[in-house]
Amino acid sequence: MKSDFSPKATEVIQCARALLAAGGYTSFSYADIADTVHITKASIHGHFATKADLVRVVVALYRQEALAGMAALDAQISDPLEQLRAYIAFWTTCLKDRTSSYCICAMLAAELPTLPPLVADEVRGHFQDLTNWLAAVMDKGLKDGSFSLQTDPKSEAMAFMAVVHGAMLAARAYGDAQIFAAIMDPALRHLAPRA
């Protein structure tokens, strides 16, 4: 994916990403971006012909960042439990300092039936990327005795991912970032080997 956008196109992408995290695909228009970035709607169309084109780029870049983050966790942390703790810590920090109060792909997944196909494909791709990484972490933890899984690694990965996204939603609903940690702590304990 091309990531060498002009400074103004980069501003448009960043604005769209913030608007997606705040309210999803249908919550904003090019007029909202134009007001924030101080650009005409026609100029936005010059960078991204349609809203679907823009959102596809935003999600594709988001996927790249997420994949790089997962690769960094793999490279820097060998213990599977610590990898999951670091992943949770990332989101805890985002929620507390409001840099990203919700995974944009989780937000968009709620709108999946109405999303343009090229956006929906990127969203599905993110979920597959995250499932694959979490399943590999679960499998490693199962093999080294760090985890006691109730089901297979892929099913555990999808369940864990659902808890993460649900915890984000609960933190947003209550307006309290601490809710996220309160939900995620038992989710990690659930993986501990049984005595």
> How many CB atoms lie under 10 A from the CB of residue 105?
22
Mean pLDDT for all residues in the chain: 93
How far apart are alpha carbons 121 and 49 in whole angstroms? 18
CB burial string 139-156: b at 16+ within 10 A, e below? bbbbeeebbebeeebeeb
pLDDT in tens, 115-167: 999 999 999 999 999 999 999 999 999 999 999 999 999 999 999 999 999 99
User: Among 1-10, 20-29, 58-67, whose mean pLDDT is lowest?
Assistant: 1-10
Residue boundaries of the structural domains of the chain? 59-190
pLDDT in tens, 83-94: 999 999 999 988
DSSP single-letter state for residue 38? T
How far apart are alpha carbons 71 and 63 in whole angstroms? 12
CATH code for the part of the protein at 59-190: 1.10.357.10
Output the pLDDT for position 170.
Answer: 93
Q: What angle do CA 82, 135, 81 make, to 5 degrees?
A: 15
Beta-carbon contacts of 110 under 8 Å, excluding residues fewer than 6 positions away, are: 24
pTM score = 0.92
